[in-house]
Structure 1
Amino acid sequence: MDGFDAFVRRSLSVSTEIVAHIETLISSGSLEPGTKLPPERELAQVLKVSRVSLREAMHELEAKRVIERRPGRGTIVLEVPSHAQALYGEVSESERTLRDVAELRETIEPKFAQLAAERATRATLYALEQMLEKSGRDLSQEESLKADISFHMLLAQASQNPLMVALNSLANSWTESVRSFSHETAEARRSSHHGHQLIFTAVRSGNGAAARDAMLAHLADVANLTRGSYPSF
């Protein structure tokens, strides 16, 4: 079971760490929407946790609309709503200008950050912290972009609003190719990581306004980095 066997205990409650681990697997794409999780007994054995702790984690994930327990089918990672999925192919690659990407992100992502500060659980904060630790390493452009998208996906999940999560998934599908240019150099990757650190600090403190402002500043930095690659931006 790819991903689940990478579970490492830290110092938080067991259920909190399970939630953080599963949220990270989902945000990184290791667990895709529609994936059926292993049966409870099997998953508890793989994670080396009690079934009581696992049930507590599953209850939290279900309450956050990350998973759904379906009679006769088991536990499923929730799909992006079909009406959002239908929009994925509506805009062609050639129609996604750099300005369009910047304006889209500046419109929606500060709200994600604000809601994350107001609603994030301990598990989500832990997952964000782990993702920050990973993105602070010496990563390639591709690895840095993947960590970047995962960080922002975790913020959307922290909003505990399934429509926000769907909107973020849609935005990722439209912006990934352009965002890659803001990870071209080591300096750019360090700048992105620094922006994430400031956002996380505000989210962890529960300050929605500060989180929103930190996100706006981060997106402005990203726009400047992208403008360096594309002077026509």
Structure 2
Amino acid sequence: MSHFKKLSSANKRSTEIVSQIKTHLLNGLLKPGDKLPTEEELVEQFGVSRTPIREAIKTLEAIGIVQIKRGEGMFITKQPTSVSLNPLIFSLLLLNESLDKLIEFRQHFEVMMMNVIKSNWSEEKIAKIRQVYETQKETLVSDISTEKLVEIDLTFHFAILETTENEYMMEIGKTIYELYKPKMLQAKHTFDVEKTLKAHKYHLELLSTKEPLTQKQIDEMIKYNKEWIG
């Protein structure tokens, strides 16, 4: 079982914990399927309270690096996805001190993403996004868990991302949303189904024409993004 060093950096503690686990993965001290120390052991090894340990584990769980098995403990995922092993995600996780900067980056990126779709617009492409939205209207229920709601919300944005048909944009977009995911899970409030569907409907309406986005429309998109994390 891996042993970690006590933290001595002035950086955010949960970020430093993620950094050490990343280093252990890269140098082979941790491998897929390996069991992590218990929460109590991690507290002792890192010399911190439970709060940064839980923040770090939640982040790593959200991007598919760590799997928690009830009654057994915490494990490195046996079959990590290409997304969870993406070095760009790890690098940005370590830089991710400012939530405001991440929100700002996502907002500008989504405007660019929509402009790309509009520059090569077709009804067939938009129909695929519309189908995802119609399916969500049928499957989203009021008592859905936050975890499931986040997953469904991101499915819609991934559908928009794929419609750009731009490999560079898709790779960067996936990274942005994977970084955003744990922030959504840790949001101070539960974002309800009605607001999620309203936001998706608005995005779909914006994409339903070739017309460039107006500043008013961009401001409305920004408002929806901020409400998720607020």
Shorter-chain TM-score range: 0.5 to 0.7
Cα distance, 1:217 vs structure 2: 1.6
Whether the 8 Å CA contact 1:132–1:151 is kept in 2: the answer is: yes
Whether the 8 Å CA contact 1:132–1:197 is kept in 2: the answer is: yes
The amino acid that maps onto 2:89 is Y
Report the equivalent of 2:184.
179
104-113 vs 88-97, greater mean Cα deviation? 88-97
Whether the 8 Å CA contact 1:118–1:203 is kept in 2: the answer is: no
Q: In terms of Rg, which structure is larger?
A: 2
Which blocks of at least 5 consecutive residues in structure 2 are unaligned?
A: 1-81
For each residue in 1:141-179, what CA deviation from the matched residue of structure 2 results, as whole angstroms up to 9, or x when unmatched?
222212221221222222221111111011112111112
Q: Which has the higher helix share?
A: 1
Aligned-CA RMSD value: 3.0
1:156 to 157, 161, 164: 161
Provide the rounded CA distance (Å) in 2 between the counterparts of 1:144 and 1:183.
15
Distance 1:143 1:182, change over 3 A: same
Could you say what secondary structure the match of 2:90 adopts?
coil
Runs of 4+ in 1 over 4 A off after TM superposition: 181-184
Provide the rounded CA distance (Å) in 2 between the counterparts of 1:100 and 1:160.
26
1:201 to 205, 209, 213: 205
Which blocks of at least 5 consecutive residues in structure 1 are unaligned?
A: 1-78, 228-233
Pairs within 5 Å for 1:1-233: 85-92=86-93, 95-136=96-137, 137-138=140-141, 139-181=144-186, 184-185=189-190, 187=192, 189-210=193-214, 214=217, 216-227=219-230
Could you say what secondary structure the match of 2:161 adopts?
helix
| Count of aligned pairs between the two proteins | 144
Whether the 8 Å CA contact 2:184–2:229 is kept in 1: the answer is: yes
Distance 1:200 1:183, change over 3 A: farther
Structure with more contact order per residue of length (Cα contacts < 8 Å, sep ≥ 6) = 1
For each residue in 1:18-46, what CA deviation from the matched residue of structure 2 results, as whole angstroms up to 9, or x when unmatched?
xxxxxxxxxxxxxxxxxxxxxxxxxxxxx
Name the % identity: 12
Provide the rounded CA distance (Å) in 2 between the counterparts of 1:122 and 1:201.
12
